[in-house]
Chains A and B, each alone.
Chain A
Amino acid sequence: MSSLANLSLPNRRFALGLGLAGEGLKYFRYWIAAAVVLAFLGPLALSLSTEIELSTWFYTANVGKWFTAFVAGGFLYALVPNMIAAGLTRRELSAAMGVFGLLWSIAIGVLVFAGLLVERVFYDAMGWTQGIQLNDTITTLGSWGETAAFAAVYPLMYLAYFAAGAAIGAAAYRWEGSGWLLLVPVLPVVFSLDNALYDTEPFGPGWMGFLGRFMDDWGRAAVLAAIVAVALVLAVAARRILIDIPLRSKKA
């Protein structure tokens, strides 16, 4: 990691966070490029046989949430033994993960924001409708403002999914064999908020969105505030799990 060269003790947690974001984006650059290309070429191919009335970037952006959670959990799971053995404290690692999460969420969020706006131009040029599926009906993003507002919440959603992934990754390392069970309380809450925000069917089994019924009447601002709160709680939980985590014994 070139960003680690010549670092000093007080700033190394920030340099590491920056380096992780850079390395993460570099490592998955071909995956990200493939997703971008598919998001534009997909509707073009589909238009040969059907009328396009749904945003492909809506689906790409939602896959990005899972991807973000996977990156956070997978990286943290691998980094715990690696970084602590390299002389990092757990507090420094949690700070580095915070920087990583912020930068990653901003980078992927900006990409999705730009993708949805470019898609808007693309769809308008092709005479297609940029819509999202709401339960059984399709809602059209009627104006540029609606598209921008719809896209603007993705960085926050990615941050929430990153925090969820980090908490589950830390738990999976700490409680080998049973740590992944943290999925059970975390996923329904995150999915339900996600569901409430867009008022769409969540990804995954339908029951996971059950909490959404209690949020139907919430305003968008309240849901956004709840997402911020959940992201913070998950980040604190991940840090708490990490803060006194023991390194596992090496197996022969």
Chain B
Amino acid sequence: MSFSATLRDVTLKYRDTDALADVNLDLEAGKIYGLLGRNGAGKTSLLSLLAAFRKPTGGEVLVGGEPVWENAGIVSRVALIREGGDFDDSDSVKSTIETGQIRPAFDTAYALKLADRFELPLKKKVRELSRGKRSILAAICGLAARAELTMFDEVHLGMDAPTRDAFYKELLAEYMDRPHTVILSTHLIDEVANYLEEVVIVDKGRILRHEEVEVFQNMGATLTGPAAAVDAIAAGLEVLAEQQLGGTKSATVAALEPGTRERAAAAGLEIGPVGLQDLFIHLTEPNRNGA
């Protein structure tokens, strides 16, 4: 069994500031979601509500069809892993892993197996770990939670590239072995794009888009070729992004009609899918400089 997640007219205020405003969102059970947004967009706030880390100022948060707030049967099967983990730094790594046993479904043997694989020193104190090792510990605790809704909030930021790759593969293996709902919040968009089934984009405390990945990918195309030919085909289309190197130009355009696609092919242009990251940058206003 895996959990669905629903937010109904949800608002979350920090003093006078709206972190989230009138958010409505339905996430089906058993899928891998990407949660994208710029810094301060409201991603972490949204995840905090789903994990009952915070109470909404208004609205309703349901997980598995039930209110999540103070619901032991639900929160014990929901895991939100934040970057660096929520650990007692004075605990040893082994003790931190054992704390996970508060969840009846926690798989200690699996956690210790992963700790061995990722070379985590069990006897070391958490405060003595490097940022990367701390991220690995957090990820291990999330995977071993065997939760029905597992959320990773930038948990892989401290990991190096090979470790991130190993983490994604382990996450996918665990998902295939035991279908459940996964939400990945990340800025490393292209790195996780292949694992995602649906993408939710949060911007300024609101849900900007929620679509299947294919829908995003079909929102446009990348045209590459001689600059003049690209300009001729792109004229009149909504250009999301442009790059030019010498005489070669690449333009990411929105909504490429079949006729236009044929003309582009006839002009010798290379037609590629739109990158999720390009689309994300475009959709969240490229001219706005965030933190």
Contacts and interface: CB of A to CB of B under 8 A. Distances in A.
Given A9-B104, A87-B77, A92-B72, A247 B99 contact: no
Contact of B73 (A9, A81, A82): A9
B102 A87 contact: yes
Given A4-B102, A7-B104, A82-B99, A89 B71 contact: yes
B72 A89 contact: yes
B98 interface: yes
Size bracket of the A interface: 20 to 34
Nearest to B53: A247
Interface stretch (B80-88, B165-173, B199-207, B266-274): B80-88
Contacts of B75: 87-89
B54 interface: yes
A145 to B, nearest CB: 44
Contact of A250 (B79, B84, B99, B100): B84
A8 B104 contact: yes
B74 to A, nearest CB: 9
Contacts of A9: 72-73, 76, 104
B53 A90 contact: no
A80 to B, nearest CB: 9
Interface string B78-118: 11101111111010000100111111100010000000000
A7 B44 CA distance: 30
Contacts of A48: none
B119 interface: no
Nearest to B99: A86
A126 interface: no
What DSSP secondary structure best describes chain B's contact surface? loop
A250 B82 contact: yes
Given A84-B53, A246-B53, A250-B82, A1 B98 contact: yes
B80 A85 contact: yes
Contacts of B48: 246-247
B145 interface: yes
A82 B89 CA distance: 10
Contacts of B70: 89-91, 243
Contacts of A247: 48, 53-54, 86
Contacts of A87: 75-79, 102-103, 145, 147
Contact of B102 (A78, A81, A86): A86
A249 interface: yes
Between A7, A83, A85, the greatest number of chain B beta carbons within 10 A of the residue's beta carbon is seen for A85
Contact of B99 (A1, A12, A91, A92): A1
B85 to A, nearest CB: 8
Contact of A85 (B71, B73, B86): B86
Contacts of A244: 55
Nearest to B79: A87
A190 B249 CA distance: 76
Contacts of A86: 86, 99-100, 102-103
Contacts of B54: 246-247
Interface in B27-48: 44, 48
A164 interface: no
A87 B103 CA distance: 6
A5 B230 CA distance: 64
A87 B70 CA distance: 10
Contacts of A166: none
B104 A1 contact: no
Nearest to B108: A5
Contacts of A243: 70
A50 interface: no
A96 to B, nearest CB: 10
B123 to A, nearest CB: 16
Contacts of B83: 250
A99 interface: no
Nearest to B154: A250
A2 interface: yes
Contacts of A88: 72, 75-76, 102
Interface string A228-252: 0000000000000001101101100
B88 A12 contact: no
Nearest to B14: A249
Nearest to A249: B44
Of B72, B79, B100, the most chain A CB neighbours within 10 A belong to B72
Given A84-B53, A89-B71, A16 B88 contact: no
A89 B75 CA distance: 7
5 contacts: A1-B98, A4-B102, A78-B90, A82-B99, A87-B145
Which 8 A-B residue pairs are closest in the complex by CB-CB distance?
Answer: A85-B86, A4-B101, A247-B53, A87-B76, A246-B54, A81-B86, A86-B102, A87-B103
Given A89-B52, A250-B83, 9 more contacts: A9-B73, A79-B88, A82-B99, A84-B52, A87-B76, A87-B79, A246-B54, A249-B44, A250-B86
